[in-house]
Amino acid sequence: MKETTNIYVVENAGPYNWLEKFNYPVGRVSLDSLYVKDERFFETIVFIDSNPAHCQKIKEILPINPGINFILYYKDSIAPTQLVEFVKCGVIESVSMDDEAHIRSLVEQYDKESGDTQLNYFNNLNAKFREFGIISNSMKMTEIFSKVEKIANSNSTVLIYGENGTGKELIARSIHQFSARRDYKFVGVNTGAIPENLLEDELFGHVKGSFTSALKDRKGKFEYAHRGTIFLDEISNMPVSLQVKLLRVLQEREFERIGENQTIPVDVRVIAATNKNIAELVKEEKFREDLYYRLNVIPIDLPPLRDRRADIPLLANYFAMKYCKINNLPVKNFTLPSIRILQNYSWPGNIRQLENIVERMVVLNPEADVFLPKDIPGEVKPDVQKEEGSNFIPDDIPEEGVSLNDVVRNIEKRMILKSLEKTSWNKQKAAKLLNVKRTTLIEKIKKFQDDENEDLNN
């Protein structure tokens, strides 16, 4: 345990008594004092209450003291909308003031990791990207954010790899917004969605009379993007005949419109994206090797959603809030069993699929207070249903025996989940149904969550 005080509470924050009980050195601090850069606040935890006015202050403090890990605490419950807003501002975690086990877990985790990656999911850098609509608490994404910030002000070409729905265009837009080109246009072109005979005109434009329907001069996307950024999505689908012309733009920073011999100089940052392995396409002679090397100056690999499952609860509640507002419905969130189902699904369509599923749930369940497992579309949970149908009570004891602890644990887990669903996740009422103390129930829930997260990360 640390001898110095790296854990603070804002003024009279509620967790102070718990922290003292755990024998951790803890200090009190005012929000105003955090506006001054101080080495004391490097790699610290600061507990803060859910006063809405604190959200903006957190946003202002993190650029000054980015080593602070803000943890939001609340008395009974907190509205999903309010939680999402605090997360956007830079809060790394939320905890009930009555949840002793969770508070202890956070402090012990910090003490063990010394402020390393476990609690630095949400820092000042992540907060900046949330401004661009990129919601994440994944270390894989944090590393990408750091890379984007480093490369933004260069003119180097970027090639973003990632499956469909992983947010390639959002990353491209963030590079543009972080760069000195932010005051000029960001122009996106889906090169895979435009027929080959139209793509050249779309990119480079034409002059009047260059073909039958060319009734007047037309600027192409490269010309529109002058001094800004052009984003070429699905670049692997670009016809080989046009790859030569794109290569020239990258090499010479100039091009000609269709039907014109005059060269047009252009100052543009090129960012491309693909969901394919272009190196393999080069071997198959379906993509020019020289263009590949010109594009692949700075590669960025976006992980699929199944590799960043820790983001799923935050993303799901964020999309729920978004579509509840759009449909003029009260904001609702997901129960733990529902989140568990979402986290165990493989999400072949990634974030885009998750967003579509949540939108469907919002529209089809307007009267629901929270989202329960029964509200999740069947396409999301076949594997989980199969898993939950097993390991309950075996019909017979096999020759190799069974783990009595596992069987008992599964029964206990199911009863707790049923009691929570029956009481709309009111822990006090659920504990009463099970004839256990509320603190006992909370400790068991936390233990199940810890075991589950460990399984997901293995």
CB atoms within 10 A of CB 389: 8
Q: E strand or H helix at 44, and its extent?
A: strand 44-49
- Measured CA to CA in angstroms, residue 164 lies from 167, 237, 321 at distances of 8, 14, 24
Q: What are the extents of the domains in the chain?
A: 1-137, 139-301, 305-379, 391-457
pLDDT of residue 407: 76
Round to the nearest angstrom and report the end-to-end CA distance of the chain: 27
Alpha-carbon distances, residue 363 vs 64, 279, 410 (angstroms): 42, 43, 33
The CATH fold of domain 305-379: Helicase, Ruva Protein; domain 3 (1.10.8)
- pLDDT for res 311: 84
**How far are the Cα atoms of 63, 78, 174, 184, 451 from residue 177, in angstroms, in the given order?**
18, 33, 5, 10, 40
pTM of the model: 0.61
**Residue holding tokens 């997260």?**
453
* Segment 244-301, tens digit of pLDDT: 989 999 999 998 888 888 889 999 999 999 999 999 999 999 999 999 999 999 999 9
The answer to whether the CB of 46 falls within 8 A of the CB of 64 is no
To 5 degrees, how large is the angle CA 248–CA 252–CA 256?
60
The CATH superfamily assigned to 139-301 is P-loop containing nucleotide triphosphate hydrolases (3.40.50.300)
Fold of 391-457: Arc Repressor Mutant, subunit A (1.10.10)
Query: Above 90 in pLDDT, residue 450?
Result: no
Q: Domain 1-137 belongs to what topology? A: Rossmann fold (3.40.50)
Q: Residue 393's pLDDT is what?
A: 55
The answer, yes or no, to whether residue 216 has pLDDT greater than 90, is no
d(CA 118, CA 214): 59
Q: Which two tokens stand for residue 108?
A: 């012990």
Average pLDDT, the chain: 80
pLDDT, one tens digit per residue, over 30-85 is 888 888 877 677 667 888 888 888 888 888 887 677 678 888 887 766 776 777 77
Q: CA-to-CA distance for 304 and 309, rounded, in angstroms?
A: 9
Q: Are 371 and 335 in contact (CB under 8 A)?
A: yes
Residue 76 carries which DSSP code? S
- Answer yes or no: are the C-beta atoms of 340 and 387 closer than 8 Å: no
Percent of the chain at pLDDT > 90 equals 29
Domains 1-137 and 139-301 share a fold: yes
